[in-house]
Amino acid sequence: MNVKSLTSLISLVLVFPLIYLVYSVIGLNFDNFIYLWNNLLLDYSLNTLYLVFLTVFFSLILGIIPAWFISTTKFKGKNFFDIVLFLPLSIPSYIIAFTYSDILSYTGPIQSYFRNFLPDLYNYVNLDYLQIEILAFLMALVLYPYLYTACRISFSLLGSNYINIAKNLGMSQFQTFFKIIIPISRVSIFSGLFLIVMEVLNEYGAVKYFGVNTFTSGIFRSWYSMEDINTASILAVCLLITVSIFFILERYSSSKFKYNYKPNDSTSGNYSTNKFSRVLIYSICLFPFILGFLIPVTFIINNVFKTINNIDFNELINLSFNSFFLASISSIIIVLIAIFFQFIKKISRSKTIFFLSEIVSLTYAMPGAVIALSLILLLSFLTKIFGISIIFGSVVILVYAYVMRYMAVGISPLRSSFEKHPYSFDDTGKNLGMSNFNLFKKIHLPVNNTSIYIAFILCFVDIIKELPITLILRPFNFDTLAVKTYEYAIEEMIMKSSIYSLIIILLGAVLLIFLRKIINKSVDVS
């Protein structure tokens, strides 16, 4: 088998469950769709789009403005903020939703304080906080780092020429930002927003807890509560079509809008600060960090101390091992496949392999519920055909689903790294008589080792937090930190879930700090 055939086979293995999902829906009775449209689909569609819109809106405010100030202005604590603004990404959306719902509840610290000390103002805080607008803001608090990181790198790589020209034309910092920098950085902004949209569409735990009907919650409800696999399949295909449209739009924007940056020409220090501007910058940078990380983590730690005597440490160790094992194995497989794809694409310069790489990347746009459902349908079909149970509810299937879902996460940093290096590296090596293996070992591996670390960490953190896939496909009596957190929280045992939430957050935070330093060093962000 040649490399092109092998690449095609791997691609087919990764996307075939989704192909079968679409195929399985084609033969269903159209009456199901009519019923869905009249009773459920319109509600799911409007809620999903509204949640996406609000989360994107809040993320734009929380992500772009701090990235601009940190990239262009020198002030004390800049390096500190550059790291901590990345930390909310370690908190899954469902954990911040559970945590703030407890903080804002009737028995929570805020309402309790007003009831006891400010009774005249209590009616102003005694509200129903389980609203879609609140959910969108909470999700933005932990998803904006996708946008912040993309914009932080983009703004730093722009160079000072654009800013200096704007100054010479008499433009203020405000005018420069909106009229020059934002249009130039639209590709980075779109790529960050794409990741946020995909995460919102994938979310289940938070929307379930807040009682918001979205496509993902609808799939779970149809499948688990109503035992209607056909309805769940139709909803999954509708969601698949929706995210495919977002995927195509993101790829179109990336290819259409391109600008030449002047590397290593730092934008840092282009703008001076006075007392008022420093206060403004500190407020803007502290706001997302405090609300998105400091408050929820402090609250969770407080809950852990309150329940420390009741913690089952044996269970905690087992769950931590399960989560760590799944994330490690899946991330290693993802990185190995991603390296193979990018290396073959580089040395072959094949349009076919480029296309296959794009097709595989599409799986990241597929929510976990869609991927899980497609695998269940495919395995059920294969079981009927061959008359045997094909590793249902196994760790193997779970890892398979993780690899499908997060392959694009591993490919993305490796693709950027491989594309930065000229083809002359390979041509010189071949002229010296080097085999493809030696080309990889002596040239590509050392040159791209930083991007390999980045790919592994990104995949690991995402898989540690993953909930929908794990809920559906995990083996019997096989739980993870994410599953246990969700199960306790959904039963209103927030305090008992805190220790599992804390482990997820701390593990993610440590890795993200390390990742932040790697990214800053690799792209010379200052």
Q: Tens-digit pLDDT profile for the chain (526 aa)?
A: 577 778 788 888 888 888 888 888 887 666 666 776 777 778 888 899 999 999 999 999 999 999 888 888 888 888 899 889 989 999 999 999 999 999 998 888 999 889 888 888 888 888 888 899 999 999 999 999 989 988 887 787 776 677 777 777 778 777 787 888 888 888 778 878 888 888 898 888 999 889 898 888 888 877 766 777 777 788 888 877 877 787 777 777 666 655 555 544 555 555 556 778 888 899 999 999 999 999 999 999 999 999 998 889 999 999 999 999 999 999 999 999 988 888 887 777 667 777 777 777 777 767 788 888 888 888 888 877 776 555 556 889 999 999 999 988 888 777 767 766 666 666 677 766 777 777 777 777 787 888 888 889 989 999 999 998 998 888 888 899 999 999 998 888 888 999 999 999 999 999 999 888 877 776 656 5
Query: Are 466 and 94 within 8 A, CB to CB?
Result: no
Q: Which long-range contacts (CB under 8 A, 24 or more apart) does 255-264 make?
A: 257/186, 257/187, 258/187, 259/184, 259/187, 261/157, 261/158, 261/159, 262/158, 262/159, 262/161, 263/157, 263/159, 263/524, 264/524
The secondary structure of 313-361, three-state, reads: HHHHHHHHHHHHHHHHHHHHHHHHHHHHHHHHHHHHCCHHHHHHHHHHH
Of 154, 223, 218, 210, the C-alpha closest to 416 is 154
Which residue range forms the structural domain that includes residue 100? 3-523
The CATH number of whichever domain residue 470 belongs to comes to 1.10.3720.10
User: Which secondary structure element, helix H or strand E, spans residue 461, and what is its range?
Assistant: helix 449-465
What is the widest separation between alpha-carbon atoms in the chain? 83
400: tokens are: 């398979």
CA R_g for the chain: 24
Helices 229-256 and 42-72: angle between axes, nearest 10 degrees:
30
Counts of helices then strands in the chain (DSSP H, E): 28, 0
**Using CA atoms, how far apart are residues 200 and 206, in angstroms rounded to an integer?**
10
| Total number of domains constituting the chain | 1
Q: Do 398 and 469 meet the contact criterion of CB atoms below 8 Å apart? A: yes
How far is Cα 220 from Cα 208, in angstroms, rounded to an integer? Answer: 9
